[in-house]
């Protein structure tokens, strides 16, 4: 059970990390190109990504690989929800349909490992 929680937590943390990196990259737009890599939100985002990597590494030492087929879409959905809530990003109907294609594509792509 803790390994399942760890795998899901890693996916959600990675989504938060990408949101932080996005916020940092927008905050430093227009400045020197190197400035983005020293922005506190970008640094925090990459620190979160590192923690998420360690959590998933720990989780997948025990969990079967077929769990990843379910976890990867969770991460994609988390990113989309966070982008909508925190960044107010909007997707057109065509883009939502495209996103659904990618979700199912990734699930089917990973089916042979189950």
11-70 residues in contact with other proteins (CB under 8 A) are: 18-19, 21-30, 33, 36-37, 42, 46
Phi/psi of residue 58, each to 5°? Answer: -65, -40
Instruction: Determine the Cα angle at 75 with ends 73 and 81, to 5°.
Output: 100
Binding of other proteins at residue 107 (CB under 8 A)? yes
Distance CA 38, CA 15 (A): 20
What residues between 73 and 102 interact with other proteins by CB under 8 A? 76, 79-80, 82-84, 86-102
Contact set with other proteins (CB under 8 A):
18-19, 21-30, 33, 36-37, 42, 46, 76, 79-80, 82-84, 86-112
């Amino acid at each position: 059970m803790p390994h399942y929680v760890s795998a899901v937590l890693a996916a959600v943390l990675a989504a938060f990390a990408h949101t932080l990196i996005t916020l940092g990259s927008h905050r430093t737009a227009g400045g020197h190109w190197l400035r983005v890599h020293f922005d506190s939100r970008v640094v925090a985002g990459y620190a979160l990504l590192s923690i998420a990597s360690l959590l998933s590494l720990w989780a997948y030492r025990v969990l079967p690989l077929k769990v990843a087929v379910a976890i990867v879409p969770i991460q994609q959905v988390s990113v989309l929800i966070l982008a909508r809530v925190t960044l107010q990003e909007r997707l057109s109907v065509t883009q939502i349909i495209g996103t659904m294609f990618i979700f199912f594509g990734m699930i089917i792509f990973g089916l042979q490992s189950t």
